[in-house]
Amino acid sequence: MTKPIITIAIIDLYDGTTNVGMECIINIINNWGVKRNFTIEPTIFKLRESNEIPDHQFDIYISSGGPGSPLDSINSSWDNLYIQWLEKMLELNKPVFLICHSFQMACRHFNLGSIGLRKSRQIGVLPVHPLCADPIFEGLDDPFYALESRAYQIVAPNDEAITKMGATIIALEKIRPQVPLERAIMAIRFNENMIGVQFHPEGEPKALHVFLNNPDLKKVIIEEFGIEKWEKNMAYLDDPSKIQKTSENLIPNFLDAAIQFKKH
């Protein structure tokens, strides 16, 4: 019996920079395809490097994280292409998953909150708190743990715009009672098929071990946050209830829902 073919467009926003995100995304969708007995046909679109953007013929869309400011690219050719694509995806109600930089650009375009620099850069494995029993969180704890790597953030939700769009904030960053700052928005369900997150649920323990042990990055983390934080990150990577659980559940949950939508 021939296995069903699932076409997945992956928008690469890394602009040619070294990363583990794309590798992890491909691993997750391939493993999901094996478990669900699908033939996966992924196509990568290098938007920032080559102005490549997918059409509306794919079954599923995943848009990656990436370096830099989600504000500085406004009115650039690739940014304009991306915004047009977002609008088309909403119009067609296509299954879309937006990761970190992609999520920030969507929030910027739809004016769902205030975007700006964090007081300090965030990098490491940190807790994320769900605000509701959304299907995307099936199999995850409260809080669950994910890689954060960002200098920018979305805060101060625009309740009017969120309500008008029919969107829902579904997760916030870690609880910090000792810090007198608003917690960042960590996930939004834009509609029944489009979800965005301000973290990296694709991060897998094996790939992140290599990533975080890079001598230059390790030095930066220790200098900025101290050796204790780096050691805690390493321990979280070895704990199957932390990063591993997130990578095995969150994006696969999105893919499962996307396939149910395709069947209808």
Q: What pLDDT band is residue 230 in, cutting at 50, 70 and 90? A: confident
Instruction: Provide the CATH number for the domain formed by 5-263 in this structure.
Output: 3.40.50.880
**Distance of CA 42 to CAs 9, 27, 199, 213, Å?**
6, 11, 22, 29
pLDDT at 179: 60
**What's residue 178's pLDDT?**
62
Yes or no: say if 202 and 251 are a contact pair by the CB < 8 Å rule: yes
What's the whole-model pTM score?
A: 0.95
Q: So what's the pLDDT on residue 83?
A: 98
Average confidence (pLDDT) over 248-258: 97
Query: Backbone phi, then psi, for 179, in 5-degree steps?
Result: -110, 120
Strands 114-130 and 144-155: antiparallel
- What CA–CA distance (Å, rounded) separates 230 from 220? 10
Q: Pull the structure tokens for residue 263.
A: 């069947």
Q: Are 118 and 82 in contact (CB under 8 A)?
A: no
Contact 247, 186 (CB under 8 A): no
pLDDT > 70 fraction of the chain, expressed in percent and rounded: 96
Give the percent of the chain with pLDDT over 90.
Answer: 75
Q: What is the DSSP letter of 200?
A: B
pLDDT of residue 180 exceeding 60: no
Could you state, in order of their start, the residue ranges of all structural domains in the chain? 5-263
Model confidence pLDDT, tens digit, residues 45-75: 999 999 999 999 999 999 999 999 999 999 9
Helices (H), the chain: 21-36, 47-50, 77-92, 101-110, 159-165, 205-212, 215-225, 227-238, 243-263
HSE (CB half, 13 Å, CA atoms) of 31?
14
Indicate the range of 18-32, 166-180, 210-224, 245-259 predicted with least confidence: 166-180
User: Residue 117: how many CB atoms within 10 A of its CB?
Assistant: 12
